[in-house]
Every structure is written in C-alpha cells, then in structure tokens.
Amino acid sequence: MRIRYMILAMMIGVLWAGIANATSCTSSGLSFKVLNVAWGNSTYQVSAGPGEMDIPLTITLESYSTVPGVTVCNAIDLEGNLQLFGGLSGFNGADYSTYYTQSVSSSSIFQMVFYLNIGNVSAGPNSVYNYPLYLSYNYPNSTTINTQSINLQIPIYGSSDFEYTPQKYGLLPGLNNLTIRVTNTGSGKLSDFRTTVSTPSGMSILSQPSAINSLMPGESTNVTFQAYIQSGNNAPLTLSVNTAYVDAYGYNKTKNSNVGFYTLPSQENLFIYPENNTLVTGRLENESIVLSNTGKTPIYNVSVSLSSGSQIDIIGKNYYDIIPKVPAGSTVTFPVTVYVDPSSGAVVTSLTASLTYSLNNQEMTLSKDISFLTPGYINLTEISTTMLPSDPSRGDIFTLTSTLDNLGSQPAQTASVTAFPPEGITILGQNTTFIGSIPVGTPTAFTLSFIAAPSVKAGIYKIPVVVSYLNSINERINSNLTFNVDIGVGNFTGSNGGKVVTASAHGPEQKGGFPILLFVVIIALAAGAYYVYSRKNRREKR
C-alpha cells in the first residue's frame, strides 16, 4: 500500500511541477511608458511643420513590470491607437492612426511609427500639443484585453527651408563685393547658419560669408563675401553654396544651393544680360533683358535687335523701339519670349544682341551675346509596372518593379527612388534606393519590396514614390509616381526556420512555459509503472 501511495504522490508532484512551470509568469502587472517622441524614423530625422503630409512620428516606449521580483508575461497583439484632432490627422484625413505589433517582451524598449498629416496648426519653439495614445494587448493563453492610456506631447516646431537670392546678377571682372539674400521660407526657426561658397573656374572666392545666429520664419538677411572674376570670362557663373545649420528641432542639417551670376566685360559702359540666366528647355520662357549703364554719362536713344541662335528661338517681337535714356549708374529692362529646343542637349545657348545708341553725342554700335544656362531635357516616363504577388493579402510581402524610360535628350544622373508607403504598409530595407544613371532611350528598372501589416484593412492603397536625379547643370529634379496596391483579406503567415506558420489567436508560446509533450510522457510512464506494480502485487497475494 505504501508503494501505491508513493506513486500517487509522485504523479501529484509531477502535475504540480507542470502547473508551477506553466505559470512561471504572471498575466498582470505589465505597464508602458514613453521615452521619446520625434518626427522621422530610425533612418532619418524630419523637421515637421504645417502643411506637410504623411510625416512619420516615432514613439519610443519601454515595457516593464510594476510588481518587483515578479516576471510578467510578454504582451501579444499590441495595438497603439493615437487619437488626432486640432489640425493633425491620419491616413485619408482620419481622426486616428494605428500601429500594430505581434509581440512585445515584458522588459524591452521598442518603437511605434505613426504617419500623420499636419494641417493649419501653430508652429514655434514652444508649440507642443497633447494627444492620447491608447494601448491594447493581451497575454498568451488569455482572451482578456488589457488597456492603458498615455498622454503624448507632440512637438510642432516647424519645417526648415530657405533660399538664396543674389542682390545683383551682373558682375564685372576684377574684385566684386557680392551680396546674397537668404530668406527662411519654412515655418520653423533656423540657427547657426554657416555658409561655404565654392565657384567654377574663372572665379575665385577671397572671403567666406560670416555665420548667421538665427533666422525666424519669413525673415531675411544678407550674406556678403568677396570674389575675383578673371577678365575675358563672359560665360554664366554658377556658385555652389553649402549651408550647415541647426533646424527648429535641434538637428544638424546641411543643404546645397546653386546661385547664378553673369559676367560683364569691363571696357564698356553699356552692358546687356538676362535677368534670369537659366532657361528650361522645351517650354516657352518669358525672360527680361537688362540694359545697364555703368558709366558716369547718360546713354540716349538705345535700340536693340535680337537674333536667334542655333538652339534658341525668339517667339514674337525680336526688336524693340528706341529707349530714350539710360541714366548713368542705372538699368532698364525689356521683355523677350524664347524657346529652347529640347533635343539640342546644349548646356549654354545664346542670343545675339545688336545695339545702337548715343554716348557723348557720338553714335555707337555694339554686338553682344546674351548667354543662358540650359539644363538638358529629361523626360522620365513609366512604361511598365509589375507586382508579385499580383493580389497580396494582409501579412504578405510583395514587390513592385517599375521600368522607366528617358524620352529626353540628356541622361538623368545619380537617380534614386524614395517610397512613402501609407500606414499599414512598410517598406523592407531603406526608404531610398539608388538607381544610378538613366540613359536616353534605355529602359531602366527598379524594385521595391513591402509588407502589408496583418491588421491593415483590405482595400486599395496608394504608394507615392519620388524619383530624384540631377540634370546636366547639377540641379536636383524630382518626378512623382504613384502605385495602387489592392490588399486582400487573406491569412497572415510568416516564416520560421524554413517552415510556414500561421499566427494563432493566442500569439507565440511564452518562453519558460512547461512543455506539454514532456508532461504527457511523464504521466504515461507513471501510470504504466503503477499498472505493473499492481499486477505483480496481486499475483504474490494469490
């Protein structure tokens, strides 16, 4: 009898050990706190301001146990629901934005990314807005939904952007004191401006601009520096301006800008040059031509006749009535409409101006070329797009392959594509993919891979893609594409060690739990031992 009780005690002990192991973590006591709120994602920071769309907001959170010394079970099916109002909105203007993750450790730091639209809200160094974040989750082998509400403080300090404008475009050979006006065109404060100017051949920079402490939205200030232009250099000059600055969020940023000038010959008093020395090929351009009297004596009765070049045509009037007077030290302008052949491929093209005028009671004639920078014509056209699989479902990985053809006259240099997937669709890898050169008449393909979140709603989603490239004068050009993706209902599947697994309603097995199969084996062995012992005992009694 004592042996029988011992075996029963062993079975009860094994069962109790299984229960103890199966409950090695508790399904309560888990909490979350916000560590950081920032615009952007893990690969880049964003200076967010009013009027911007589909901007990622990254929330960094920490999960922890509120019961000292007790291990809390992992959270599964964690969903964050960010309630929006007062100018902020989610996908398609929704008053909420959601983020889903399948499992979060009970002691970890993780991130949630929400894509938001910023409407007409006030931006500034003290503009911080409060929004509620609702978290819902459950524990393995439990159907109870747990919730927590967190108050988020979202900063909207303003976007960062600025532009440079020369105070004058016409420069004389020799020493020039140049002034470029910089204007803060963004909605946020900019500070610690440090500008470095580099130039093409034929021009030397003798001093660099001084630093600018700060620049408020809409504010302008001048940066000045000295440059020396070699004589005989009559071509357009494009200065490269590199600016390092601190944006409204305290991020260190850089920006490259191009500023164009025109060189004037020094031995004459009357100069003619374009007000804007850059023309876009393939479209009508309304240009202003400047007459400048740099001498100390007025110039009278100026007449101008313009002649087309091999790549540029004058549309309409190519001569102008007599300009009665150009005072000393002043300028006058007159309009001209031109068209540059997009197939020419020329970087610089010129009109010829023939002038007659009276100076000091003497009749003078002058023939000058009016030169323009003409970026090469680039026309990127999407000729085909394929998607695999063609009917992705929630939880699926799918790829988009698009083929572009350049129907212009110049290759697109250093091209790259940047995808901006909507909420619920995540790009695999980096947001930006480098393509390289897109030659003329040579189809060039790129491929992007995405995953549809298991919680995303079925329907058609738009994925905007920006193709960015340089033209022949190193200007950065952006072309926009949009891909439509129809996400079906489907089942969410993933990959685990080469085997396909389907996500269950209870999520992943909790680490440290008692193995059910081992428990069953132990019970079976104990029962067998008890059966053998009982039969042997009965035989001995007989």
Closest-CA residue to 511 (of 69, 144, 139) = 139
- pLDDT of 510 reads 36
Query: How far apart are alpha carbons 369 and 272 in whole angstroms?
Result: 9
Q: Which residues contact 226 (CB under 8 A, 6 or more apart)?
A: 175, 176, 177, 178, 205, 206, 207
- pLDDT of 89 reads 94
Full DSSP string of 152-184? EEEE------EEEEES-SEE-SEEEEEEEEEEE
Encoded tokens for 133:
């974040």
- pLDDT of 501 reads 25
Half-sphere exposure of 454 (CA within 13 A, CB side): 16
Query: How far apart are alpha carbons 335 and 343 in whole angstroms?
Result: 25
- pLDDT of 453 reads 92
Report the chain's terminal Cα–Cα distance, integer Å: 16
- pLDDT of 533 reads 52
- pLDDT of 359 reads 78
Query: How far apart are alpha carbons 53 and 66 in whole angstroms?
Result: 38
pTM of the model: 0.48
- pLDDT of 88 reads 94
Query: How far apart are alpha carbons 186 and 191 in whole angstroms?
Result: 13
Query: How far apart are alpha carbons 323 and 328 in whole angstroms?
Result: 14
Query: How far apart are alpha carbons 147 and 498 in whole angstroms?
Result: 35
pLDDT tens for the chain, residues 1 to 542:
444 544 444 444 434 334 443 447 888 889 999 999 999 987 888 999 999 999 999 999 999 999 888 889 999 999 999 999 999 999 888 999 999 999 999 899 999 999 999 999 999 888 999 999 999 999 988 888 999 999 999 999 999 999 999 888 877 766 788 889 999 999 999 999 998 888 776 778 888 888 899 999 999 999 998 887 765 566 678 888 899 999 999 999 999 988 888 776 555 678 888 888 778 777 788 998 898 888 888 889 999 998 887 788 888 887 777 889 999 889 998 889 998 887 766 677 888 888 888 877 767 788 888 888 777 778 899 999 999 998 899 999 999 999 999 987 788 888 999 999 999 999 998 888 898 899 988 999 999 999 999 999 999 999 999 999 987 777 788 999 999 999 998 754 333 332 222 222 233 333 334 444 444 445 555 555 555 455 555 545 44
Q: Decide: helix, strand or coil at residue 443.
A: coil
